[in-house]
Chain A
Amino acid sequence: MEIAVMIKQVPATDSVKIDPETGTMIRDGLEMEINPLDLHSLEAAVTLRDRAGRGRVTVFTMGPPSALRAVRSALAFGCDRGFLVTDRAFGGSDTLATARTLAAALRKEGPFDMILCGERATDGETGQVGPALGHLLGASVLTYVNDILELGEGYVVVRRAIEGGEQVVRAKLPAQLGVVKELNRPRLTTLRRRQAARETPIPSLTAEDLGLPKERCGLKGSPTQVVSISYPEVTRSCEMIQVGTDVDRAVSVLAEALLKEVAPR
């Protein structure tokens, strides 16, 4: 069983700031960490391998050279090998160009039976790279996976969260899974494993290594154009309604006031 885990380094903050001029995220000076949902992918991958008693977990990240730290942390998690997909030519990639680049990396180092991704990253919040990657590799694409029920010869059975309920799906391998946090509780890494991970070589993969022409990656290979970006305006107003102590009356007055605020269906 060959399992690939895709991880991303994201700012360790909830308040991402956008440069109004360029429309891109301001990353300078921000502390980075592994995207929280990716920790659940790592946990799932390592658990699947250990339960099967065979197989290999390979972690990939695409980013600047500093993203090496994320791969190292993933190795401390128990992954067998890691790759840093990095090249100046990859700068400015949109979700399609990112998926195309990662697909090239997985083709080069694969094949893989399972490709695990966090459902989305906390910075971009698009949730597009995982499914696009699965599609490009011809894998079954399974989103919002909250449980992996069975992994058999050539198939996987997962449970997915869907609107209003859950769905159990049996899909052919290879499969790309977008996982949500309900899947598991990621383990803590140990100092010994982290120390060992520092000694593990982490190869870099460049555009040339992947045989990607410049116009197919980075800004040039990205059809998405950010035209403008703005913060939504949040306004709140408070209206005090005096109704005394009659609860029934208070409920009907409140209901009436709320109905006035709601557009008619």
Chain B
Amino acid sequence: MSVTREYGAVTREILDELLSALGKNRVLSDHDGMEPYSWDETGKNFAVLPEVVVKPGNTEDVRAVMRIAQKHRIPVTASAARSGVAGGAIPLRRGIVLTTEKMNRILEVDPVNRTATVEPGVITNDLCKVAAEKGYLYAGSPMSTFTSTVGGNVATNAGGAKGIRYGSTRAHVLGLEVVLPGGDVLSLGGKIRKGTWGYDLKDLVVGSEGTLGIVTKIVVNLEPMPGRTADLLVPFRTIGEAVAATSKILALGVSLLSCEYLDQPSVLLTSRYVKYVYPFQDEAEAFLLIQVEGKDEETLERDCDKVGNLCYDEGAIEVFVADNRSDSADIWSVRQNYAEALRVKDPYFVSGDVLLPLSRVPDMVRSIEETAKKYELECVVCGHIGEGNMHPDIFKPDQMELREWESYSEAFFADLIRHAVDMGGIGSGEHGVGFVKKPFLTETKGEVEIGLMRRIKQAFDPDWILNPGKIVDS
């Protein structure tokens, strides 16, 4: 049963308390200053203006904000790059937006423990760069690596193109410092790689979308750099051939860092945006983009042959090989700029994120096609097909009003998520629940599990001030 909670308003006195705790450069309360914090990549139509935006510079600042928020029952929504697409950073109940953008220091790279310690506002690619300079790979980076922050990745348990090999963000979070409502600080995990030491609260906080605590420090795992890599770009005449080839590629036992899928409409759209044309993009219904790794040149060549020859056998129009940085950057630019290209075409497009057992991906691809037809929607599909994670993205029909679009697109995704769950899948592989998928989570999880989630939330945040309206309701 859902309870509507009452929250306090940010009064002049509370504003003064925040100002004296953080200083005037760290508190915004004018409309124009706060407007960018009212929405994220989910779409501007969902914007909710906060009452105040605070920019803490360290853990002590965050504690001070949380003490004030707890005392006055003010909602607190954590925010950073606002690149999320499930509405996680939108302050649904107004109150305080706490942005971690000023907490953006890479505190340490520890070669002995093979870890990096960072603040949550670090842009993910900055961490990747620093790690690479020291000879390591930060493998938890999502496709939005240039815009998203490590804190945001932790909040959504973000995944990326390398997930097939390295897993999502959770697999790389070794330690967290978390501030609870009221200001208590938890230190969870650390520079350690395993543990049977009570319930694993760290793993619970990863993916909790700012509903359990504010993450103020993150210890991440660094991987040794992979060996040599080459990228294969493979156009297929039909979607069916591309999907069927994928499961056979995965069964080859070759070391893959990525196995991505792009359908023709998504390639045509993004290729116009990045001004790079994929060969055969007018004929191929689908493309696979596969990154092969080999410990040396011979292994790499052999394994590229294995994957490529299989693709030829499965009906690929051609197999293109990129083994230099320019070609690799070009062919990946289409995949990496996909979301931006969609946003340029339609600022109100809605992004899906279904996750399936690999064996059911062909059924899901068919289901997406049929559902789009049923709803008469233009739909483009890309995804981390090697992990069974597909992103069906739909565009608002020109004549449809925004309000209607919100419920219409919700109905479309409700159908798809139900199909996914029926097939043993779930409604979000990496984007998160936020508020846009909350009804589907509640519907598909069942009362017992949702009840447990509510009690966990209650235990961390008794007054439900942290990011209210997300994941579960009280």
A and B interact: yes
Neighbouring B residues of A31 by C-beta, 8 Å:
228
Q: Does A12 contact B (CB under 8 A)?
A: yes
Assembly CA distance A34 to B325 (angstroms): 9
Q: Are A190 and B324 in contact (CB under 8 A)?
A: no
Q: Are B319 and A192 in contact (CB under 8 A)?
A: yes
Q: Does B84 contact A (CB under 8 A)?
A: no
B132 to chain A, nearest CB (A): 10
Fill in one digit per residue for B294-338: 1 if any A CB lies within 8 Å of its CB, else 0. Answer: 000100000011001100100000111111111100010000000
Q: Are A189 and B321 in contact (CB under 8 A)?
A: yes
Q: Is the interface of B mostly helix, strand, loop or mixed?
A: mixed
The answer, among A34, A36, A39, A191, for a CB contact under 8 Å with B232, is: A191
Q: Does A69 contact B (CB under 8 A)?
A: yes
Q: How many chain B residues have a CB neighbour from A under 8 Å?
A: 22
Q: Does B233 contact A (CB under 8 A)?
A: yes
In A157-193, the 8 Å CB interface with B consists of 185-192
Q: Are B320 and A36 in contact (CB under 8 A)?
A: no
Q: Are B319 and A36 in contact (CB under 8 A)?
A: no
Q: Are B324 and A191 in contact (CB under 8 A)?
A: no
Neighbouring A residues of B323 by C-beta, 8 Å:
33, 73
Fill in one digit per residue for B227-239: 1 if any A CB lies within 8 Å of its CB, else 0. Answer: 0100011000000
Q: Does A195 contact B (CB under 8 A)?
A: yes
Q: Are B325 and A33 in contact (CB under 8 A)?
A: yes
Q: Which of B305, B319, B322 has the most CB of A within 10 A?
A: B319
The answer, among B276, B304, B305, B325, for a CB contact under 8 Å with A12, is: B325
Q: Does A135 contact B (CB under 8 A)?
A: no
Q: Are A188 and B327 in contact (CB under 8 A)?
A: yes
Assembly CA distance A225 to B166 (angstroms): 48
The answer, among A39, A185, A192, for a CB contact under 8 Å with B324, is: A39
Neighbouring B residues of A33 by C-beta, 8 Å:
323-325
Q: Does B279 contact A (CB under 8 A)?
A: yes
**CB nearest to A189 among chain B residues:** B321
Q: Are B326 and A190 in contact (CB under 8 A)?
A: no
Known: A36-B325, A39-B326, A194-B321. A188 touches B305 (CB 8 A): no
B205 to chain A, nearest CB (A): 36
**CB nearest to B324 among chain A residues:** A33
Neighbouring B residues of A76 by C-beta, 8 Å:
321
Assembly CA distance A188 to B334 (angstroms): 15
Q: Are B321 and A188 in contact (CB under 8 A)?
A: yes
Neighbouring B residues of A187 by C-beta, 8 Å:
279
The answer, among B232, B276, B297, B305, for a CB contact under 8 Å with A195, is: B305
Known: A190-B318, A194-B321. A36 touches B308 (CB 8 A): no
Assembly CA distance A192 to B304 (angstroms): 11
Q: Are A36 and B326 in contact (CB under 8 A)?
A: yes
The answer, among A185, A188, A195, for a CB contact under 8 Å with B322, is: A188
Q: Are A186 and B327 in contact (CB under 8 A)?
A: yes
B307 to chain A, nearest CB (A): 9
Assembly CA distance A186 to B312 (angstroms): 23
A7 to chain B, nearest CB (A): 11
Fill in one digit per residue for A191-220: 1 if any B CB lies within 8 Å of its CB, else 0. Answer: 110110000000000000000000000000
Q: Are B322 and A186 in contact (CB under 8 A)?
A: no
**CB nearest to B307 among chain A residues:** A191
Known: A12-B325, A31-B228. A190 touches B305 (CB 8 A): no
Q: Are B324 and A188 in contact (CB under 8 A)?
A: no
Neighbouring B residues of A192 by C-beta, 8 Å:
312, 318-319
Assembly CA distance A34 to B323 (angstroms): 10
**CB nearest to B325 among chain A residues:** A12
Assembly CA distance A12 to B229 (angstroms): 12
Assembly CA distance A212 to B233 (angstroms): 44
Assembly CA distance A15 to B167 (angstroms): 29
Assembly CA distance A191 to B312 (angstroms): 10
Fill in one digit per residue for A58-89: 1 if any B CB lies within 8 Å of its CB, else 0. Answer: 00000000000100010010000000000000
Assembly CA distance A31 to B276 (angstroms): 26
Q: Are A36 and B322 in contact (CB under 8 A)?
A: no
Fill in one digit per residue for B261-283: 1 if any A CB lies within 8 Å of its CB, else 0. Answer: 00000000000000010010000
Neighbouring B residues of A188 by C-beta, 8 Å:
233, 279, 320-322, 327, 331
Fill in one digit per residue for B323-356: 1 if any A CB lies within 8 Å of its CB, else 0. Answer: 1111100010000000000000000000000000
Q: Are B325 and A190 in contact (CB under 8 A)?
A: no
Neighbouring A residues of B326 by C-beta, 8 Å:
36, 39, 186
Known: A31-B228, A188-B331, A191-B304. A12 touches B324 (CB 8 A): yes
Assembly CA distance A31 to B324 (angstroms): 10
B residues near A (Cβ < 8 Å) are 228, 232-233, 276, 279, 297, 304-305, 308-309, 312, 318-327, 331
A residues near B (Cβ < 8 Å) are 12, 31, 33-34, 36, 39, 69, 73, 76, 185-192, 194-195
Please give 10 more A-B residue pairs, beta carbons under 8 A apart, in addition to A12-B325, A192-B319.
A33-B324, A36-B326, A39-B327, A186-B327, A188-B322, A188-B327, A189-B320, A191-B319, A191-B320, A192-B312
16 pairs of residues in contact across A and B, judged by CB atoms under 8 Å: A31-B228, A33-B325, A36-B324, A36-B325, A36-B326, A185-B276, A188-B233, A188-B320, A188-B321, A190-B318, A191-B232, A191-B308, A191-B321, A192-B312, A192-B319, A195-B305
Q: What 9 pairs between A and B have smallest CB-CB spacing?
A: A191-B308, A188-B320, A191-B319, A33-B324, A36-B326, A191-B321, A190-B318, A189-B321, A12-B325
